Structure 1
Amino acid sequence: MATPKWRRLADELAERIRSGDLAEGEALPQIRELTAAGEGSTTTVQAAYRALETEGLVRIVRGRGTYVRWRRSRVVRESQARYQWEKDRALLGEEERKSTGVTERETGLDTPQLEFHATYDVVEAPPEIARLFDVAPTTRMLHRRYRTSSREETAPIGLISSWLIYDQAARNPALLDSGREPWPGGTAHQLSTIGIEIERIDDRIGARPPTAEETKLLDLDPGTAVLILRKFSYSTEGPLAEYSEVVLPGDRHEFLYRIPLERWSRP
């Protein structure tokens, strides 16, 4: 079957974008220019541009035109190595912990290149959170929300919603102050200051369409799904110590798992 003309046009433009012939932020030709040049009908060009938008290569701005998207920083998340690295850093001195964090490690950006935003609230445990922590619905919880972005980009790398039992967190009043973020050493060190060592972390990963708010905050193109990471951190004593839900744009995050397998025994 012959390749449709709109697809051929989309592939030609995609190659120009990937090669740098069409630079980031540059406007693509107006539809009327391409139709006049014999590249196809208005319908053909529109279909090609919509395909490029779906593939995350361009952004269509109504009334203005179509522009090559700025490349978004990619993040490779290797959970097992990430969590052990963060736990090991909890035992280091503050200056060494300040030198870099897990976000810097995964993005390759230095701390001055990142912008951190955190908000804290004290609320009664919603039903699902109360069930996860096995506490009464009236239990006070410290609800923390985080956004981290590159200073060269407007959209955050992801959206994090974290939960701690308030009475536990309050053992160290510093943990109640959002102004201390980003905390050197992350959650592993924060919990260590109240006598909690994390023994096990369970990651549950799914995907879904983004909400309208997530689409706006994460600057998502049409058709881009979000990955939902539900992270359960259990203490050495057994109970759930911290729960977080992380919303990650599907167009910029990759999960890498290195899983050693036992060898077959040979006679």
Structure 2
Amino acid sequence: MAPKTPQWRGLADQIARDIAAGASGYRPGDQLPQIRDLVAQGKGSKTTVLAAYKALEAEGLVSMVRGHGTKVRQRPPHQIRRHQERYVWEKKLALRPDEVRRTSGVVDKDTGLEHDEIATHATFRAIPADADLAERFGVEAGTLMLHRQYWHSAGDDPTALSLIDSYLVHEVAARNPDLLDSAKEPWPGGTHHQLSTVGIEIDRIDDGIRTRLATQAEARKLGIPTGSAVLLLDKTSISTEGDVVEYSHVVLPGERTELRYSVPLERWTP
């Protein structure tokens, strides 16, 4: 005989089905019934209902905030990142006319959203290179770097789609003062076009991908439960001269990110 489903699990599954169906009262942003109300309706004890809500929170369906109750979570767009195609497309975009570059971007491609539905948030500051950055760029520790922090959001939802820390050698970026100004973001044509304005062409991009649990700060910004998995992308852009010209550390929510690769292979000769 199959073990009986615990009452809290049955309640959680029923609420999850209502959320998936978009039932009235269970749509993104809706407040779920108070625990005491479900107890009064005979859904279970306070312990049972609380266990169901906690399970739903762990599964990313609701958020529980002390003093504010339990709400159905907004569901930011799912991202499908096809990195080979993405990087080739972005480099070609840098050569397109300004009016085309201003209405296109890689975030659009990843999410399927319209360009004007995406908001870009950016802050820039100058920092000395630590040992890790110095080694990556092949410069002396303490070399002045331009640290660019980005995140994008969709529509009126403030949830970050990803968290990006990007670095350039400050002396290189300063050849075009506009590159030092966060108010110029989003830059039409992205990093490829930015670097082209200082005479640099990117030859290749090296990616490294790993995973870990989100920090509390990351979980809050990405709108995921604390302790959820995130993907860490280390992206290094190398110029046609063989120099590292840009490095980005990207944090992506595991539950909303899919990485797809298509690797062409050489045919065996007869």
Output the TM-score relative to the length of structure 1: 0.92
Answering whether residue 16 of structure 2 is matched by residue 5 of structure 1, we say no
Q: Which consecutive unaligned segments of at least 5 residues does structure 1 have?
A: none
Give the deviation of 1:163 after TM superposition: 0.8
Aligned residue in 1 for 2:233? 229
Aligned residue in 1 for 2:36? 32
Counterpart amino acid of 1:28?
L
Q: Percent identity?
A: 52
Correspondence for 2:158 among 150, 154, 157: 154
Q: Is the 8 A contact 2:29 2:73 kept in 1?
A: yes
For 1:1-267, list aligned pairs within 5 A: 1-21=3-23, 22-261=26-265
Structure 1, 155-164 or 203-212: larger mean CA deviation: 203-212
RMSD over equivalenced CA pairs, Å: 1.8
Structure 1, 56-65 or 124-133: larger mean CA deviation: 56-65
Q: Is the 8 A contact 2:76 2:154 kept in 1?
A: no
Q: Is the 8 A contact 2:166 2:247 kept in 1?
A: yes
Question: Distance between the aligned counterparts of 1:50 and 1:212, measured in 2?
Answer: 17
Question: Distance between the aligned counterparts of 1:95 and 1:41, measured in 2?
Answer: 61
Counterpart amino acid of 1:10?
A
Deviations 1:98-147 (A, max 9, x none): 12111122222233322222222122211110011111013221111112
* Partner-residue secondary structure (3-state), 2:171: helix
Give the deviation of 1:84 after TM superposition: 0.4
Question: Distance between the aligned counterparts of 2:184 and 2:264, measured in 1?
Answer: 38
Number of aligned residue pairs: give it: 266
**In structure 2, do the counterparts of structure 1 residues 262 and 46 end up closer, same or farther at CA, with 3 Å as the change threshold?**
farther
Q: Is the 8 A contact 1:53 1:222 kept in 2?
A: no
Give the deviation of 1:208 after TM superposition: 1.9
Which consecutive aligned stretches of 4+ in structure 1 deviate over 3 angstroms post-superposition? 260-265
Q: Which consecutive unaligned segments of at least 5 residues does structure 2 have?
A: none
Give the deviation of 1:39 after TM superposition: 2.4
Give the deviation of 1:209 after TM superposition: 2.3
* Partner-residue secondary structure (3-state), 1:116: strand
Q: Is the 8 A contact 1:230 1:245 kept in 2?
A: yes
Question: Distance between the aligned counterparts of 2:61 and 2:176, measured in 1?
Answer: 47
Deviations 1:139-177 (A, max 9, x none): 221111112111321122111111111222222222222
Question: Distance between the aligned counterparts of 1:28 and 1:208, measured in 2?
Answer: 31
